C-alpha cells in the first residue's frame, strides 16, 4: 500500500513541478526579450527620448520630503543592507529552521545577481545620466545594479516568506504585493535621484527577475529529490 501511494503521488508532484517550470521558463523568456530589446535600442542610441521623458516625469515630483524618502528607499537596495539581511535571514533559516538549501539559495540570489550585473555593466559601458546626482554613485549605468540585485534578492526572500506562510490562517498574497512594491520603489528611487536612466532600471528588473526565477526553480529541483 505504501508503495502504491508513493507511485500515485509521483505524477501529481511531477505535474505540479512541470507547471511551475513552464511558468518560470515562460516568464524568463519574456524578461529576456525585454532585456534584449533594451540592449539593442541602447546600442543603436534609440533610448534617449524614452529615458528623457520618463526621467523628467519622475523627477518632476521633486520635493525635499520626497528626496529624503527616495534616499531611504534607495539605501534598501544597497549592498550593505542586503548583505546584512542575508546574514540575518540566512541564520534564521539555517539555525532555527534547519533549511540549509534555502540559506544557500539566498546567498546565490545576491552573489550571483551582483556578479552578473558587474559583467553586464562592463559589457555595455553606459555612462550614468549627465545630471545632478542626489546620491553618490559610481561605475557604469546599464543595467541598474540596485534594480537587478533587489529584484533577485528581495524576490527570493519574498518567495521564501510566501513558501513558509502560505498554509497559515492569515493570507500570504500580501507578501508578494509588498515584495513587488519594494522592488519597484527601489528602481524608481534610482531614476528620481538622477543616478540611472529608466531603461537601466527596467533592464535591471528583467535580468534580476530571470536570476530570481532560476534560483527558485533550482530550489524546487533540489527539494524534489530530497
DSSP, collapsed to helix, strand or coil, labels residue 140 as coil
Look at residue 185 in the predicted model and tell me its pLDDT: 98
Determine how many CB atoms are found less than 10 A away from the CB of residue 80: 8
User: Do residues 212 and 27 touch, judged by C-beta distance below 8 A?
Assistant: no
Look at residue 208 in the predicted model and tell me its pLDDT: 97
DSSP 144: -
**Residue in 125, 133, 146, 164 annotated catalytic:** 146
Is 75 known to be catalytic?
Answer: no
Is 146 known to be catalytic?
Answer: yes
Look at residue 8 in the predicted model and tell me its pLDDT: 46
Question: Cα 23–108–32 angle (5° rounding)?
Answer: 40
Q: Which residues of the chain have pLDDT under 70?
A: 1-17, 96-98, 167-171, 223-226
For the question of whether the overall pTM of this predicted structure is more than 0.75, the answer is yes
Look at residue 16 in the predicted model and tell me its pLDDT: 54
Determine how many CB atoms are found less than 10 A away from the CB of residue 89: 18
Amino acid at each position: 500500500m505504501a508503495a502504491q501511494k508513493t507511485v500515485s503521488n509521483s505524477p501529481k508532484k511531477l505535474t505540479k513541478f512541470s507547471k511551475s517550470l513552464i511558468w518560470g521558463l515562460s516568464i524568463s523568456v519574456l524578461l529576456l526579450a525585454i532585456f534584449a530589446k533594451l540592449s539593442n535600442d541602447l546600442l543603436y542610441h534609440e533610448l534617449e527620448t524614452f529615458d528623457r521623458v520618463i526621467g523628467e516625469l519622475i523627477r518632476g515630483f521633486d520635493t525635499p520630503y520626497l528626496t529624503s524618502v527616495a534616499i531611504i528607499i534607495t539605501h534598501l537596495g544597497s549592498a550593505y543592507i542586503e548583505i546584512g539581511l542575508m546574514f540575518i535571514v540566512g541564520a534564521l533559516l539555517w539555525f532555527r529552521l534547519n533549511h540549509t538549501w534555502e540559506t544557500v539559495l539566498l546567498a546565490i540570489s545576491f552573489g550571483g545577481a551582483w556578479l552578473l550585473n558587474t559583467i553586464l555593466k562592463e559589457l555595455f559601458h553606459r555612462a550614468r545620466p549627465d545630471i545632478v546626482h542626489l546620491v553618490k554613485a559610481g561605475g557604469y549605468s546599464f543595467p541598474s545594479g540596485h534594480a537587478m540585485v533587489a529584484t533577485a534578492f528581495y524576490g527570493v526572500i519574498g518567495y521564501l516568506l510566501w513558501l513558509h506562510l502560505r498554509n497559515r490562517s492569515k493570507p500570504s498574497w500580501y507578501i508578494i504585493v509588498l515584495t513587488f512594491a519594494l522592488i519597484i520603489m527601489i528602481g524608481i528611487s534610482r531614476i528620481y535621484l538622477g543616478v540611472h536612466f529608466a531603461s537601466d532600471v527596467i533592464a535591471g528588473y528583467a535580468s534580476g527577475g530571470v536570476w530570481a526565477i532560476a534560483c527558485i526553480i533550482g530550489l524546487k529541483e533540489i527539494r524534489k529529490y530530497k
